[in-house]
């Protein structure tokens, strides 16, 4: 962090994981209240508790007024009016009197009494079918948190902003938080934790929302309501940007706008190298709504549909019919291009409501993806049947995540066959020639890819996981993010092995991890012989431009050299050099 005082510009450096510039008011999303312990008090302490309570109410009132003024300065008086409702809560006589009465009868610390009374009020209001009263319930909850924190002597915490567009700042956002957030109001995302391949970063990229992660303790240092500029390219968050900074970023945005315009012109162009090699360039999607950006960015279909995101912002699992409808809609929209549906990859950092995956010490090595599905046929089979039923429309393929070896693959395919039989028996149509694929994201699968290849039609390499398992670097741990090196010689050898197995068995192979969208590494992946690259929709134009600037031959030569290099840095430099020569402007 650097800066020159409270009102001056202050900079925080993190990792830019989703490109773009955002400017706006900050909203800090904080964790829920810590548990409030119902400490008993002696009747002689009642007076002191009342005094504490009154002081906390005054303090809260001042904080709200201060916030109101700050917001009014930043975005206008009208929107700051929401805080009037919060002020009414701290002045609500009925609420305060009830707290005082209960303090005498319950004889516990006032924070516990206040929390209980306020929560009950909020619950009662939230049940009434009236939007105004439901909003009042939210006001009460927000103010209650602030009063309790003041009673506990903690720093002022969250104050929700009006329904304005904002930069969302949080300690950590889970994929379910991201799936549930109001995406039209979030201009940018900044988090203390996170890394390039965390699913929150992946989603932000898909949504085209600029994001910076790995900011360590930014949530402790920022207050809701301050003005910020977020640079998702270089990973900066700048509070109270100076006129010079704003002018500088104005120019960056103009340059970016020009680059995007040029890239947009490539939309209808094929993803073919200079020497005529066509490589399928498809997109990864998380939510069905993402399909819009698949076509607008010029992708050739969907190479990875992360279906588990269907579950993440709800409490119950969608049934077979609902899934079938969704898959069919997506397939219809992208046809004649392919839609590769990946079966649920629940677990790891993707925990869904309604699914009981208890806390695990190593969730990424735990009960995840295909392991979970094979033990939960009541979840797996409806999904397989839904995919099969949707396969009559368009060009649907299916792939299985986290395959570790042949036995698991056979088991998954056997269940798929059972589902086909069930549909046949019921006279429900499906495409009997539906292509099946294995995700290669566990080193054992890469090493055994020659044995796996005869069972499937394609391989899709999930480098996000493959890298974390190959070099034992947790993909979501920002503390070791610098050790997460896609150009590690071991990763190169594993991908090469998969490519050789695919060619020998005459099946195609692609890469759908984040590595596929990193244009510095496009020469490496082309040289390794990929048939397909599947990337975040917003990255498609950049990758297409990179691909069209390269010749397959020079990429093959690069890989021959890279295979003899011994360190990730040397391999990266080799790729970087060719990338800079061919499309330096795209990289800057």
DSSP string over 225-239 = T-EEEEETTTTEEEE
Q: Which partner, Mg ion, ligand PEP, none, binds residue 568 by CB below 5 to 8 Å per kind? A: none
464 lies in the site for ligand PEP, by CB under 6 A = yes
Q: Residue 441: helix, strand or coil by DSSP?
A: coil
- 360-399: which residues touch ligand PEP (CB under 6 A)? none
Does position 465 bind ligand PEP by CB under 6 A? yes
CB of 576 to ligand PEP, least distance (A): 22
Contacts for 16 with CB less than 8 Å, ≥ 6 apart: 210, 211, 212, 231, 232, 233, 234, 235, 236
- Tell me if 286 contacts Mg ion by CB under 5 A: no
> Least distance from C-beta 586 to Mg ion, angstroms?
27
458-461 vs 508-511, strand pairing mode: parallel
Burial 508-531 (b: 16+ CB within 10 A, else e): bbbbbbbbbbbbbbbbbbbbbbbb
Stretch that binds ligand PEP, among 354-362, 406-414, 462-470, 545-553 (CB under 6 A): 462-470
Between 116 and 441, CB nearer to ligand PEP: 441
Asked whether position 194 contacts ligand PEP by CB under 6 A, the answer is no
The set of catalytic residues is 199, 512
Kindly tell me which of 95 and 467 has the beta carbon lying closer to ligand PEP.
467
In which region does residue 227 sit, left (phi positive, over 0), alpha (psi from -120 to 50) or beta (all else)? beta
In the beta sheet, which residues pair with residue 302? Answer: 283, 339
Using CB under 6 A, pick the residue from 462, 486, 510, 517 that binds ligand PEP: 462
CA 259 to chain centre: 25
470 is a contact residue toward ligand PEP (CB under 6 A): no
Using CB under 6 A as the binding rule, whether residue 441 contacts ligand PEP is answered as yes
- Residue 472, by phi and psi: left (phi above 0), alpha (psi -120 to 50) or beta? left
Task: Pick one of ligand PEP, Mg ion, none as the site partner of residue 338 (Cβ within 5 to 8 A by kind).
Answer: none
562 binds, among ligand PEP, Mg ion, none (CB under 5 to 8 A by kind): none
Alpha helices, DSSP H, located in 286-442: 291-296, 309-312, 320-334, 369-375, 377-390, 406-426
Phi, psi (deg, nearest 5) at residue 21: -115, 135
What is the closest distance, in whole angstroms, from the C-beta atom of residue 463 to Mg ion in the complex?
Answer: 9
The interface region with ligand PEP, picked from 44-52, 230-238, 463-471, 537-545 by CB under 6 A, is 463-471
Position among 10, 195, 463, 522 found at the interface with ligand PEP (CB under 6 A): 463
Instruction: Tell me the C-alpha distance between 160 and 335, whole Å.
Output: 43
Which CB sits closer to Mg ion, 238 or 440?
440
Where does this chain touch ligand PEP (CB under 6 A) — which range of 355-363, 413-421, 459-467, 574-582?
459-467
**What is the C-alpha separation between 470 and 494, in angstroms, rounded?**
9
What is the Cα–Cα distance from 338 to 277, expressed in whole angstroms?
19
- Binding of ligand PEP at residue 542 (CB under 6 A)? no
Phi-psi region of 212 (alpha: psi -120 to 50; beta: other; left: phi over 0): beta
Site for ligand PEP contains 307 (CB under 6 A): no
Name the binder of 463 from ligand PEP, Mg ion, none, CB < 5-8 A by kind: ligand PEP
Residue 306 binds which one of ligand PEP, Mg ion, none, with CB within 5 to 8 A depending on kind?
ligand PEP
DSSP letter for each residue of 97-166: HHHHHHHHHH-B-HHHHHHHHHHHHHHHHHHSS-HHHHHHHHHHHHHHHHHHHHHTTPPP------S--E
3-state DSSP helix/strand/coil percent for the chain, to nearest 5?
55, 15, 30
Q: Which does 24 bind (CB under 5 to 8 A by kind): ligand PEP, Mg ion, none?
A: none
Give the nearer residue to ligand PEP in terms of CB position, either 227 or 312.
312
Is there a contact between 482 and 462 (Cβ–Cβ < 8 Å)? no
Any contact of residue 198 with ligand PEP (CB under 6 A)?
A: no
Cα(424)–Cα(388) distance, rounded to whole angstroms? Answer: 11
| Number of residues counted as binding ligand PEP (CB under 6 A) | 10
C-alpha to C-alpha distance for 427 and 250, rounded to whole angstroms: 61
Identify what 300 binds: Mg ion, ligand PEP, none; CB under 5 to 8 Å per kind.
Answer: none
- Applying the rule CB under 6 A, the residues between 208 and 237 that interact with ligand PEP are none
Cβ closer to Mg ion: 299 or 445? 445
Please give the residues from 423 up to 452 whose contact with Mg ion meets the rule CB under 5 A.
441
Residue 347 DSSP code = B
What is the DSSP secondary-structure string of 384-401? HHHHHHHTTSSEEEEEES
Stretch that binds ligand PEP, among 177-185, 249-257, 461-469, 500-508 (CB under 6 A): 461-469
Of the candidates 462, 486, 541, 568, which one interacts with Mg ion according to CB under 5 A?
462
| 581 closest CA partner among 535, 520, 525, 528 | 520
| Interface pick for Mg ion out of 9, 49, 465, 514 (rule CB under 5 A) | 465
Residue 512 binding ligand PEP, by CB under 6 A: yes
The reply on whether position 345 binds ligand PEP by CB under 6 A is yes
Applying CB under 6 A, the residues found at the interface with ligand PEP are 304, 306, 345, 441, 462-465, 512-513
Applying CB under 5 A, the residues found at the interface with Mg ion are 441, 462, 465
């Amino acid at each position: 962090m650097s800066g020159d005082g409270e009102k001056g510009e202050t900079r925080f450096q993190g990792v830019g994981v989703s490109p773009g510039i955002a400017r706006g008011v900050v909203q800090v999303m904080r964790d829920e209240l810590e548990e409030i312990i119902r400490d008993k008090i002696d009747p002689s302490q009642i007076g002191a508790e009342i005094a504490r309570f009154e002081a906390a109410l005054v303090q809260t009132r001042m904080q709200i007024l201060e916030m109101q003024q700050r917001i009014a300065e930043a975005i206008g008086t009208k929107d700051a009016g929401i805080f009037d409702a919060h002020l009414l809560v701290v002045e609500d006589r009925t609420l305060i009197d009830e707290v005082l009465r209960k303090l005498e009868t319950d004889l516990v610390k006032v924070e516990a009494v206040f929390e209980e009374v306020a929560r009950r009020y909020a619950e009662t209001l939230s049940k009434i079918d009236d939007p105004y009263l439901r909003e009042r319930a939210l006001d009460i909850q927000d103010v209650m948190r602030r009063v309790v924190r003041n009673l506990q002597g903690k720093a002022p915490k969250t104050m929700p902003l009006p329904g304005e567009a904002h930069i969302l700042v949080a300690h950590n956002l889970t994929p379910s938080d991201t799936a549930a957030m109001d995406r039209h109001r979030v201009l940018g995302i900044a988090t203390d934790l996170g890394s390039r391949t965390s699913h929150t970063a992946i989603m932000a990229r898909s949504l085209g929302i600029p994001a910076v992660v790995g900011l360590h303790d930014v949530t402790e240092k920022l207050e809701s309501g301050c003005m910020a500029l977020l640079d998702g390219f270089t990973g900066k968050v700048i509070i109270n940007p100076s006129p010079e900074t704003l002018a500088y970023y104005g120019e960056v945005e103009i340059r970016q706008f020009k680059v995007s315009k040029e890239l947009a012109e490539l939309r209808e162009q094929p993803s073919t190298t200079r020497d005529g090699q066509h490589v399928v360039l498809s997109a990864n999607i998380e939510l069905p709504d993402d399909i819009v950006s698949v076509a607008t960015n010029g992708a050739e279909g969907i190479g990875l549909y992360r279906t588990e995101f269907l579950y993440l912002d709800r409490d119950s699992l969608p049934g077979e019919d609902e899934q079938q409808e969704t898959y069919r809609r997506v397939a219809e929209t992208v046809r004649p291009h392919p839609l590769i549906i990946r079966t649920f990859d629940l677990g790891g950092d993707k925990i869904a409501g309604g699914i009981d995956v208890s806390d695990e010490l190593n969730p990424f090595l735990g009960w995840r993806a295909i392991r979970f599905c094979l033990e939960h046929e009541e979840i797996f089979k409806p999904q397989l049947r839904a995919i099969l039923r949707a396969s009559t429309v368009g060009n649907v393929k299916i792939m299985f995540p986290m395959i570790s070896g042949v036995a698991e693959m056979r088991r998954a395919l056997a269940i798929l066959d059972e589902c086909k039989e069930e549909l046949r028996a019921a006279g429900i149509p499906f495409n009997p020639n539906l292509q099946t694929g294995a995700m290669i994201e566990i080193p054992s699968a890469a090493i055994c890819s020659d044995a796996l290849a005869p069972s499937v039609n394609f391989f899709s390499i999930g480098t996000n996981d493959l890298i974390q398992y190959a070099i034992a670097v947790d993909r979501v741990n920002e503390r070791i993010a610098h050790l997460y090196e896609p150009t590690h010689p071991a990763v190169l050898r594993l991908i090469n092995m998969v490519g050789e197995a695919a060619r020998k068995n005459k099946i195609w192979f692609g890469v759908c991890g984040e590595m596929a969208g990193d244009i510095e590494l496009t020469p490496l992946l082309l040289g390794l012989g990929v048939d397909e690259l599947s990337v975040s929709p917003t990255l498609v134009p950049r990758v297409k431009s990179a691909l069209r600037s390269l010749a397959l031959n020079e990429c093959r030569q690069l890989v021959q050299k890279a295979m003899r290099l011994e360190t990730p840095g040397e391999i990266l430099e080799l790729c970087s050099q060719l990338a800079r020569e061919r499309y330096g402007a795209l990289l800057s």
